[in-house]
Amino acid sequence: MALINHAKKEINAKIVYFGPAKSGKSTALTYIYSRIKPSLRGDLKSVPASEDNLLFFDFSPFDAPLANGYRFRLHIYTLTGIVTNPATWRMTLKGADGIMIMADPADERIAETRESIAQLRDFLAAYGVGLHETPTLLQLNDTSENSLSVQTADVVEKLELIDLPYCRSNSVTSEGLLEALTILSRQVLDRVMANKQREVKAEAVEEDEPNESGDTVNSSVDIQADQEIRRNVDIADKTCVTFLPNELSVNGTTLRIPIDIQCGENQSRFVVTVAIESIES
C-alpha cells in the first residue's frame, strides 16, 4: 500500500518484478536504472534476503512535483536468479502497489511461467489480495536477440491472463523495457491518486451534517451582512426574526436566505448563504 507523507508531501509506491529465473527481471532493472537521471534516482542495491538475493532501487519518474506540491517516488524490487525460499518472494510482495509479471513467451517456458503465476496468486492470497485487485502488467519478454514469432494473444491465453494488460519487450536489445515500466507506473499512480481522492471525500462527508432530504449542508455557513448589525443589543428589547421566503434565491448548489431582524427600534437585514452537496448513495 502506498505511503503518503503529508508533512513532506511525498507519495511512495512499491513495484515488484515477479517471474521465474532467467525471465529477464534483473536485466530489466539494471537497464532501467541506467537510463534514469542520476538526480532522480537512489542507489541500485543488491542485498542478501534469507537464502536469496534482493535487487532494488528507488527513483522519481517526474522532474516537477504533482498537484499541491507532492512528489511521487517509486521503489522497484525483484529477486534475482533461482529463488530457493518461497517465503522470500512472499515478503518481497508485501505491500506491493504494482506487479510486473516477467514471462518468456517461448513455448518451452510456458509451463514454468504458469507455475510461477500460480505461486504468485498464492502469495497475494496470503495478504488477502487478488491478482486483479492490484495494478499488474504482463510483460512478455524475449530473452534472445531476435524476437520470437509466437503470437502474443496465444501466449496470454495459455497463461490464463487474458484479463490483464500486456506488452512485449526484449531484455537483450532493451526494446520495450522502459515503456513497460512507464505503463505500470501510470496504473499505480492513477490508483494511488484515486484512493487519495476517496479519502479526502470521506473526510469531507464526516465533517458535514445530513439534512432530512438526504443532502449535505456544509457546516461552514457564509453569512454576508447587507447592513451593519448592531452587536450590543439590550436583552430587554423585544427581538423579532422574519424570514422572507418570497426573496429566496437558488444558484446551482448555493441557497441564499434573506432574514430581517427587529431589535426594539433597530432593524437590520442579512443574508445566509448555504452551500449544498448531494451524497451519493
pLDDT for the residue numbered 180:
96
Question: What is the average per-residue pLDDT within 241-268?
Answer: 61
pLDDT for the residue numbered 7:
84
pLDDT for the residue numbered 37:
93
Domain range 3-203, its CATH number among 3.20.20.70, 3.40.50.620, 3.40.50.300, 3.30.360.10: 3.40.50.300
Q: Cα dihedral sign for 105, 17, 98, 95?
A: positive
Task: Find how far residue 151's CA is from the centre of its chain.
Answer: 33
185-211 in b/e form (b: 16+ CB < 10 A) is: bebbbebbbeeeeeeeeeeeeeebeee
Residue 120 pLDDT greater than 90, yes or no? yes
Convert the pLDDT of each residue in 135-191 to its tens digit: 999 999 998 876 666 788 899 999 999 899 999 999 999 999 999 999 999 999 888
% residues pLDDT > 70 (the chain): 67
Residue 41 pLDDT greater than 80, yes or no? yes
C-alpha to C-alpha distance for 93 and 265, rounded to whole angstroms: 75
Q: Is the pTM of this model over 0.95?
A: no
Distances (CA, A) of 174 to 19, 60, 78, 181: 18, 21, 18, 12
How does the average pLDDT of the chain come out, rounded? 79
Which residues belong to CATH 3.40.50.300 in the chain?
3-203
Give 40's pLDDT tier (boundaries 50, 70, 90).
very high
